């Protein structure tokens, strides 16, 4: 039971990404990303995040950008323990608002920029029937003599089944505020340094109520107490960022970004912790701290003007998961990566059409996966369009779908084996405006 309720606090903490990126980090940080899936060599306003040095390739003046993504994920856990009341547990993660705001001002060889983004989390998860691990301690009693649970229950005979109410709802947002300074060393080489402040907030509400054990000689109530959890975790972290942008030949732009490890520790603010009925002091002491670092990241990108109307984009991002402190969970992961290709075509005048593909390998081993905390590799496709008005205003739209590979846990007992499935769809829109 300790692991069951303990999972309520970890389900979103380390599986915080809403869609793209690593186990923790979101890299879907603009509508342009959704329609191309490769922005690490950006020289548009979303370069504030993707390629800070690439801001020097923009025209002089003030550049403003805002976008939003609406994200839905369907989740499914398939459990094979025969005594569970159901085999499939469905959940949904949603983020109706996932905004990105960027501003950059460039003059001559110098530029300053700032951005606000959900660098991790950004959504809410709902499991109306709980998860297998919520029910497993109860389901494990099926087939046992009631007297083994409590000697006073011996007259009830053998436990034949159970009923219970279990639910979980949580939300997670790691909001990042970033500032950069960029400088043009030459016509071919630009540098940038930046810093990001991350403010994390996770909320959890879970319950395990009305447990009734069915036995051969009647029903048993009150053996397992009702459990309610209502808690919030908050924390703050900082990281540094360095970037390089190069244009070695005409038509080719190369971007490099490195983000240092973000040391992050979240603190419990617990309003209700029903686990005190099971464990002295409860599982979630008010004021207790949990390590939730954001791994260091290396991002490489290239954009090449293949033909006057066609531009190709490529990107690679690497996440140093094993160097993060996740209170021991980092032992069960490898470093992660994502890489892909995108094409942008000038269809007519100021209209551009685009499409891209991306493969994400999060690095989670089977020993990391559980119904409370799983991270799946994915293949994604995206597409969209952008239109540039003569007034300096530009709009863009994009849509993508992610096909996640099925995952499984490392449970050696076949009856405790689980499979994990997920799918995601993202719809995005962005507006940018340039002032000379």
Backbone torsion region of residue 21, taken as left when φ is above 0, otherwise alpha when ψ lies between -120 and 50, otherwise beta: left
The mean-pLDDT minimum among 164-168, 255-259, 330-334 falls in 164-168
The mean-pLDDT minimum among 4-13, 19-28, 107-116, 163-172 falls in 4-13
- For CA atoms 280, 282, 287, 292, the dihedral sign is positive
Q: Which residue has the tokens 């984009």?
A: 313
The model's confidence at residue 17, banded by pLDDT at 50, 70 and 90, is low
DSSP calls for 123-190: EEEEETT--HHHHHHHHTTTTSBHHHH-GGGGGG-BEEEEEEEEEEEEEEEEEEEEEEEEEESSSSEE
In angstroms, the CA 192 to CA 316 distance is 19
CA atoms within 13 A on the CB side of 275: 25
Average pLDDT over residues 95-105: 95
Pick from 138, 172, 169: nearest CA to 8: 169
pLDDT score at 208: 84
Q: Is the pLDDT of residue 351 over 80?
A: yes
Average pLDDT over residues 74-98: 91
For 102, phi then psi, to 5°, come to: -135, 145
pLDDT score at 167: 83
pLDDT score at 9: 43
pLDDT score at 412: 79
Q: Is the pLDDT of residue 207 over 90?
A: no
Q: What is the pLDDT of residues 357-397, one digit of tens each?
A: 999 999 999 999 988 788 999 999 999 999 999 888 999 99
In angstroms, the CA 305 to CA 24 distance is 33
The model's confidence at residue 3, banded by pLDDT at 50, 70 and 90, is very low
Pick from 341, 353, 351: nearest CA to 389: 351
15 vs 358, which has greater pLDDT? 358
Distances 251 to 183, 189, 254, 385 between C-alpha atoms, Å:
20, 14, 10, 21
CATH superfamily of domain region 2-435: Outer membrane protein transport protein (OMPP1/FadL/TodX) (2.40.160.60)
Exposed, middle or buried: residue 221 (CB in 10 Å: 0-12, 13-18, 19+)? Answer: exposed
Q: Is the pLDDT of residue 136 over 50?
A: yes
What percent of the chain shows pLDDT beyond 70?
Answer: 94
Q: How many CB atoms lie within 10 A of CB 124?
A: 18
Q: Is the pLDDT of residue 59 over 90?
A: yes
Strands (E), 277-417: 289-291, 297-307, 310-319, 336-348, 351-361, 378-388, 393-404, 407-408
2 in helix, strand or coil?
A: helix
Q: What is the pLDDT of residues 238-287, one digit of tens each?
A: 999 999 999 999 999 999 999 999 999 999 999 988 767 666 777 778 89
The mean-pLDDT minimum among 17-26, 119-128, 242-251, 421-430 falls in 17-26
In angstroms, the CA 74 to CA 88 distance is 13
pLDDT score at 33: 98
pLDDT score at 356: 98
Q: How many degrees, rounded to 5, is the angle at CA 336 between CA 344 and CA 323?
A: 135
Considering all CA atoms of the chain, what is the largest pairwise distance in Å, rounded to the nearest integer?
A: 87
99 in helix, strand or coil?
A: strand
For 6, phi then psi, to 5°, come to: -60, -30
Pick from 427, 429, 428, 431: nearest CA to 394: 431
Q: Is the pLDDT of residue 4 over 60?
A: no
Q: Is the pLDDT of residue 219 over 90?
A: yes
pLDDT score at 180: 98
pLDDT score at 15: 47
Average pLDDT over residues 124-144: 86
pLDDT score at 411: 84
pLDDT score at 260: 98
Average pLDDT over residues 69-85: 93
The mean-pLDDT minimum among 7-16, 221-230, 340-349, 357-366 falls in 7-16
């Amino acid at each position: 039971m300790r692991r069951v309720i303990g999972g309520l606090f970890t389900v979103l903490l380390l599986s915080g990404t809403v869609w793209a990126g690593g186990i923790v980090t979101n890299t879907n940080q603009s509508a342009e990303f959704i329609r191309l899936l490769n922005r690490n060599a950006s020289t548009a306003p979303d370069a504030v995040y993707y390629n800070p040095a690439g801001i020097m390739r923009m025209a002089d003046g003030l550049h403003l950008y805002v976008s939003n993504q609406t994200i839905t994920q369907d989740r499914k856990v398939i459990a094979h323990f025969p005594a569970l009341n159901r085999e499939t547990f469905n959940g949904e993660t949603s983020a109706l608002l996932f905004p990105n705001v960027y501003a950059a001002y460039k003059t001559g060889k110098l530029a300053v920029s700032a951005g606000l983004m959900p660098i991790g989390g950004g959504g809410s998860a709902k499991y109306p029937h709980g998860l297998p691990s919520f029910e497993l301690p109860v389901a494990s009693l099926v087939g046992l003599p009631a007297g083994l649970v409590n000697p006073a229950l011996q007259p009830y005979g053998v436990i034949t089944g159970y009923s219970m109410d279990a639910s979980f709802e949580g939300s997670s947002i790691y909001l990042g505020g970033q500032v950069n300074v960029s400088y043009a060393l030459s016509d071919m080489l630009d540098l940038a340094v930046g810093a990001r402040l991350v403010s994390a907030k996770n909320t959890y509400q879970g319950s395990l109520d009305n447990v009734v054990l069915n036995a051969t000689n009647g029903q048993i109530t009150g053996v397992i107490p009702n459990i309610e959890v209502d808690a919030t975790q908050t924390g703050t972290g900082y990281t540094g960022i360095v970037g390089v942008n190069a244009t070695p030949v005409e038509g080719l732009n190369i971007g490099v970004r490195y983000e240092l490890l973000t040391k992050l520790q979240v603190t419990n603010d617990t309003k209700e912790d029903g686990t005190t009925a099971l464990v002295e002091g409860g599982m979630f002491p008010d004021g207790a701290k949990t390590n939730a670092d954001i791994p260091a990241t290396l991002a490489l990108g290239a954009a090449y003007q293949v033909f006057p109307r066609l531009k190709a984009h490529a990107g690679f991002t690497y996440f140093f998961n094993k160097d993060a402190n996740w209170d021991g969970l980092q032992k069960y992961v490898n470093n992660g990566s994502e890489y892909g290709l995108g094409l942008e075509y000038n269809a007519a005048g100021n209209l551009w059409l685009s499409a891209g593909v991306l493969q994400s390998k999060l690095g989670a081993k089977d020993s990391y996966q559980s119904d409370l905390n799983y991270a799946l590799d994915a293949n994604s496709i995206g597409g969209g369009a952008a239109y540039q008005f003569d007034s300096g205003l530009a709009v863009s739209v994009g849509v993508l779908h992610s096909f996640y590979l099925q995952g499984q846990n490392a449970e050696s007992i076949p009856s405790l084996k689980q499979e994990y499935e997920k799918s995601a769809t993202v719809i995005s829109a962005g507006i940018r405006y340039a002032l000379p």
